[in-house]
Chains A and B, each alone.
Chain A
């Protein structure tokens, strides 16, 4: 289990290799990568600024990761979440999970992402032609949490 909150980009391939390095008992590795889109609400955006709450962010990610490990049979997991100003196409977040069989890795990765959306202290601001716009929380993201309860 490990989490990183960083401004720097990450290498998905290197993270997958690191997750399973030196072991032969892993049967499945699932990864999710979130990217910055170039459009929001039908309008182009120039960039996405991610603000976070240093200290609380790391604790929140560790808590979500620990919960996933308690619920599913995971052999390894990794969460990387970036902050700062990111341009369209940039990677924002990586979730990787490893398990003996694919079911646990798939579900755990989805669970972690659902919780990151509305329980990790990040706030996104889209750079638009008329200045900037804070992204509103979506009801759909809150609803996504309920299926895990």
Chain B
């Protein structure tokens, strides 16, 4: 079981800020593919992966990273702090 979080327009497109996901995905890219296959709202949110960033257990990571041992995955657009 993994907690998946969404922020900004990714959250708006998917419709929830967080959810528990039962998955056997090995990598972030696998998880994205799995979610996109579920429902159209995920497919829409992840249609342009160049605009998506990912954090694993609150550390910035990338799409090819392994999900082994990861408890929290977050997807969001490029950050606009400051």
**Contact: A125 with B8, CB < 8 Å?**
yes
**Contact: B79 with A137, CB < 8 Å?**
yes
Binds B, one of A48-56, A67-75, A96-104: A48-56
**Contact: B9 with A134, CB < 8 Å?**
yes
**Contact: A34 with B82, CB < 8 Å?**
yes
Enumerate chain B residues within 8 angstroms of A119, measured Cβ to Cβ: 60, 79, 81
**Contact: A123 with B76, CB < 8 Å?**
yes
Enumerate chain B residues within 8 angstroms of A92, measured Cβ to Cβ: 82
Enumerate chain A residues within 8 angstroms of B79, measured Cβ to Cβ: 117-123, 137
A51-B8, A53-B5 as given contacts; A120 in contact with B82, CB under 8 Å: yes
Q: How far is the CA of A134 from the CA of B11 in the complex (A)?
A: 12
Q: Number of residues in B with C-beta < 8 Å to the partner?
A: 16
For residue A81, CB closer than 8 A to chain B, the reply is yes
Main secondary structure of the interface of A (DSSP, over half): mixed
Enumerate chain B residues within 8 angstroms of A118, measured Cβ to Cβ: 78-81
**Contact: B58 with A123, CB < 8 Å?**
no
In B67-82, which residues have CB < 8 Å from any A CB?
74, 76-82
**Contact: B7 with A123, CB < 8 Å?**
yes
For residue B55, CB closer than 8 A to chain A, the reply is yes
Q: How far is the CA of A117 from the CA of B27 in the complex (A)?
A: 28
Which of A59, A123, A136 is the most central at the interface, judged by chain B CB atoms within 10 Å of its CB? A123
Enumerate chain B residues within 8 angstroms of A125, measured Cβ to Cβ: 8
**Contact: A117 with B58, CB < 8 Å?**
no
**Contact: B58 with A81, CB < 8 Å?**
no
CB-nearest residue of chain A to B11: A51
Enumerate chain A residues within 8 angstroms of B81, measured Cβ to Cβ: 81, 93, 116-122
Choose among A51, A55, A93, A116 the residue that contacts B58 (Cβ–Cβ < 8 A).
A55
Residues in B lying within 8 Å of A, measured CB to CB: 5, 7-9, 55, 58-60, 74, 76-82
Residues in A lying within 8 Å of B, measured CB to CB: 34, 51, 53, 55-56, 59, 81, 92-93, 113, 116-125, 134-137, 141
If A122-B81, A136-B78 are given as contacts, then 4 extra A-B residue pairs at C-beta distance below 8 Å, sorted by A number, are A53-B74, A113-B82, A117-B79, A134-B77
